[in-house]
Structure 1
Amino acid sequence: MKQGKYVFSTFQLAFLLKDKQLGYFLLSFHPEEKCFELFYHIQHYAGKYFFASSMKLSTNYSLEAMQEKITGVRFKSLFVKRNRKLEREHLSYFYAKYKTKSVFLQQLYQAGYAIINLPPEIGVQLPSQFLVHTPAVEWQFKLWENFLKLLETGDTFSKEHIAQYFQKYVMSIKMIFLPLNECHLLLTEYLLFLEKEGVLVEYILDRYKIKRQMMYKEKSYN
C-alpha cells in the first residue's frame, strides 16, 4: 500500500473475480504471515493505484470460518469521494510534462485542441477504468470527438450504437475469469456519469437523449 492506495500489476488484474457482495476482488497469499489477504470493492484511482477494502484470513481459520468472515461484508461497494477538478489539473500536468511526444497528444494538437481546455467530462477516472489499457482521457476524447460531439441537443442514440465506437477506442485487459465484454461496464459507468452531469438522459432502457453539449473552452485573447 502507498499513501492509502493499493498497487496491483496487470498480471494480478488478470485474475480478478467478481461477486455481487464483494464487487471486483483478488485473493493474495502472504507466506511470511501465513495468511490470505482478500482485496475487495476494488476501484481504479489512477495509473497503477487502486482503492480497495481488505481483510486478512489466517491459515489457522477453517474454511467455514473464512467463509463466515467474507459473508459478513456489509456494504456492496466502497464509497470514494473524488475531487474531479484537481484530478483534471494533475492529468493536464502529467501529459504536459511526460507525454508531450505521445501519439495521442500530437493528434490532439494537430486537431487544434489543448488538453487543458477539453470539456470537463473528458479525462474522468471511473471505478472500472482498470478493465482497459487505454487511458481515460484518450478513449473519452475519441468518443466525444467522433460521436457525442456530432449530436445536437435533443438527438437520441442507443447504447448498442455508442458501444461500437467505444469498442474501437479501447484495448481491454484480458481477464481469465471474466467475460470478454466485461469492459463494457466502463462505458455504462461513463454514461451514468454523463447523466449525472446533465449531458444526457436515459429516457428508456438503453436509449439516451442529449440534453446539452460538452463544451470545449476556446482560448481567449485579450
Structure 2
Amino acid sequence: MLVAYRKDGEKISLADYRNRDELDQFRKKEEFQCPVCGELVILKLGSKRIWHFSHRKEANCPESYERESSYHMMGKLQLFQWLKQKGIEAELERYITSCKQRADIAFDWKHKRYAIEFQCSSISTEIFNKRTQGYVGNGITPIWILGGNQLKRIGVNLFSFNHFQYLFLRKEEDIGWNMPVYCPDTRSFIFLQHLIPVSSKKVVASISTSQRSQTNLAVLFTPSPVAGVPLSKMSHELQKVKTSFFIQPNLAQKLFLNELYTKKLNLLLLPPELGLPVPSAPFIETPTLVWQTYLYLDILRYMREGEIISEQNVYNAILLRKHRKQITLRTIPLCSGGDFYAAIKEYLALLVNISTLEKLSGNRFKMMRPFYLPKSVEQQVWAEKQFYDKFEKIIMNQFL
C-alpha cells in the first residue's frame, strides 16, 4: 500500500516523497491509518523493497485479500507517474466508496472515469468478475493490465495461458483479441494481439513492446495494429499438439483418442479441415482440433456430396458433447459480445469459403466437397500442404 492517512486526516502518498530522512521523521512522530479500514498501518522504509505502508498482522482489512509484492507496488507507482507525465489527473489507490473497492489508479479522461487494475498475482474468476462489475455498475471503466511476471512466453510467438491469463483478453473490432501487459523491471508495455489458441493451454499471438515514456494513453485502449502470426506457425504448433496427445494424455485426451480408435480413425491422419483457427475460438476451452473433430465424427464425416444439414443440427451436436462434458466453454469477462456460437458460425462460414459447404437459405448447408481422409502419413502430409497452399489466404482473411 502506497497511500495512507495521517491522524489529522491528511492523505499522504509515497509517490510524492523521494527523501528517506523526511519520511523517517514522519514515522517517528506520526501514526498512519489505512484509507479503507481505518486501522493503524506501519510505514516501512527498507532497502530491499519499495517503501510502503503495511497492515499489522492482526489486521482484518477487506482490501487485504492479496499480499502486495514489491513488483506490484513498483508497477502501479510507475503507471501512476506515467499518467501524471501525460498531464492526466490521476489518484493512486483511490478507495471508491460507491463500490467499496480500492483501485490501483483512478483517473478521468475525456469525460469518462477509469480505474486501472494492475494484477501481478493469480486471482479467481469470481474476484475478477466482482471487481469488474463493481466498477461498471458505478459508471467506471476498468482497465485490467497483466503484470509482466504473469506472462509465460514459451516461444517466439507462443505463450502458456491458464484461466487467469484468459481473464485479461479484450476484443476490438479492428484488431481482434488483444491484451495489455506491463513490466516495471523494464518500464515497458507489452501488447499481445491476434491471440489464437492452439490447445487448452497454448496460445499463439503477435507481440509488440513500447517503452513507458514513449507510450500514449490511447494505445492502452487500442494498441497499434501489427501483423498476425503466419498460418505456418499455427499449423506447426497443431502438429506438436497432436504428438503431445500420445506422450502424457490427460483423461479428456484419452477419451478422445479412444473414440477415434473405436471409429477406426488415427489422430495423425485426420482431414486438414480439422483444427482450423477461427476468431472466436477462445470462447471454447476445448482445443479447436478436438471440438472440430467431434463435429466431424457426429455430422460431417457421414455427409455425401449434395446432402444438406442445418445450422441447428451443428449446434445440437456441440451442445450434446457439452452435456457429456466432452466440450468445455470459456467465459471471457472483458468481452461483452460473442460466445461459443460465434466460433461455430465462423467455422461453418470458413467451410463455405473453402468450398467444402455451400450456404443455402434458412441457415442450411449443402456438402459440396466431402472431407478427404488420408490413409497414410505421406498422404496426410501431401493433403495438408495442398490444403494450406490453396486456402491460406482465405483462412487468414478471417482475422483481418
TM (norm. structure 1) is 0.77
Partner of 2:163: 10
152-161 or 92-101, which deviates more: 92-101
Partner of 1:193: 350
Confirm or deny that 1:81 pairs with 2:235: no
**8 Å Cα contact 2:198-2:234 kept in structure 1:** no
**8 Å Cα contact 1:44-1:128 kept in structure 2:** no
Confirm or deny that 1:123 pairs with 2:123: no
Separation of aligned partners in 2, 1:84 and 1:17? 21
Question: Quick check: which has more Rg, 1 or 2?
Answer: 2
Letter of the structure 1 residue corresponding to residue 248 of structure 2? Y
Quote the offset at 1:120 in angstroms. 2.4
Report the count of equivalent residues.
215
Correspondence 1:26-45 to 2 at 5 A: 26-45=179-198
Letter of the structure 2 residue corresponding to residue 122 of structure 1? L
Separation of aligned partners in 1, 2:358 and 2:320? 23
Confirm or deny that 1:202 pairs with 2:355: no
Q: Structure 1: any 5+ residue segments left out of the alignment?
A: none
**8 Å Cα contact 2:204-2:234 kept in structure 1:** no
Partner of 1:66: 217
TM (norm. structure 2) is 0.46
Change (3 A) 1:126 1:19: closer
Report the secondary structure of 1:97's partner residue. Answer: coil
Letter of the structure 2 residue corresponding to residue 108 of structure 1? L
Aligned counterpart for 1:184 among listed residues 337, 341, 344: 341
Partner of 1:48: 202
Quote the offset at 1:197 in angstroms. 3.6
Quote the offset at 1:66 in angstroms. 2.1
**8 Å Cα contact 1:25-1:41 kept in structure 2:** yes
Structure with the greater relative contact order (CA < 8 A, sep ≥ 6): 1 or 2? 1
Q: Structure 2: any 5+ residue segments left out of the alignment?
A: 1-152, 322-326, 377-400
Partner of 1:145: 297
Separation of aligned partners in 1, 2:219 and 2:292? 41
**8 Å Cα contact 2:198-2:288 kept in structure 1:** no
Confirm or deny that 1:160 pairs with 2:312: yes
**8 Å Cα contact 1:91-1:123 kept in structure 2:** no
Separation of aligned partners in 1, 2:307 and 2:181? 48
Change (3 A) 1:45 1:160: same
Partner of 1:109: 261
Quote the offset at 1:31 in angstroms. 2.4
Separation of aligned partners in 2, 1:12 and 1:72? 18
111-120 or 200-209, which deviates more: 200-209
Letter of the structure 2 residue corresponding to residue 107 of structure 1? E
Correspondence 1:94-105 to 2 at 5 A: 94-99=244-249, 102-105=254-257
**8 Å Cα contact 2:284-2:328 kept in structure 1:** yes
Report the secondary structure of 2:370's partner residue. Answer: coil
Quote the offset at 1:144 in angstroms. 1.2
